[in-house]
Amino acid sequence: MADGLRAPSPLKKVRHQIYLGGESFLVEMDSRLKGAVPGEDIPKRQRGPSPSSIEMVRKAVARELGVAESGLSRSRGGEDKIAGIYLASILTGKTGAEVGRAFGVKPARVSNMVSEIESGRRPALVKRLLGLRRALERGVSV
């Protein structure tokens, strides 16, 4: 019992508040849930085991938009930073605070950027993000 008390908690590895397992497990769960429509009463973070990570999103956005990945955390971000924050927020199941830390912004700014994209205020960026989002959702390297 003493060894168990000193061991790291497996709960630190829980993803989307309900999944405990590696990438292959998340991919398996994702394939089993394909086509299932979660109820509105299911919190967004628990709706699916998206295998996307913030790091995967950062790399894909940097490649797609032709910028350095490190530039996505600069203090004055442009559309590339907005794209990264939006995709990380909707695809990873991470909180606004977690996404904000990865991109160097506060959680409220994450929410503002997601709203900006979803409201259609940046139509050219929205169009560009559609294909990138689909590729990340399928786990395809962009």
The pLDDT of residue 106 is: 94
In this model, does residue 51 exceed pLDDT 70?
Answer: no
Q: Are residues 124 and 94 in the same domain?
A: yes
- Structural domain contains residue 48: no
Maximum Cα–Cα distance across the chain: 58
- Structural domain contains residue 108: yes
Please list, in sequence order, all residues whose beta carbon lies within 8 angstroms of the beta carbon of residue 100, skipping any fewer than 6 positions away. 85, 106, 107, 109, 110
The pLDDT of residue 103 is: 94
The reported pTM is 0.65
Of residues 38 and 84, more confidently modeled: 84
Q: Are residues 75 and 126 in the same domain?
A: yes
Q: Are residues 67 and 112 in the same domain?
A: yes
The pLDDT of residue 83 is: 94
Average pLDDT over residues 27-38: 69
Q: Domain range for residue 133?
A: 54-138
- Structural domain contains residue 100: yes
The pLDDT of residue 49 is: 54
The pLDDT of residue 84 is: 94
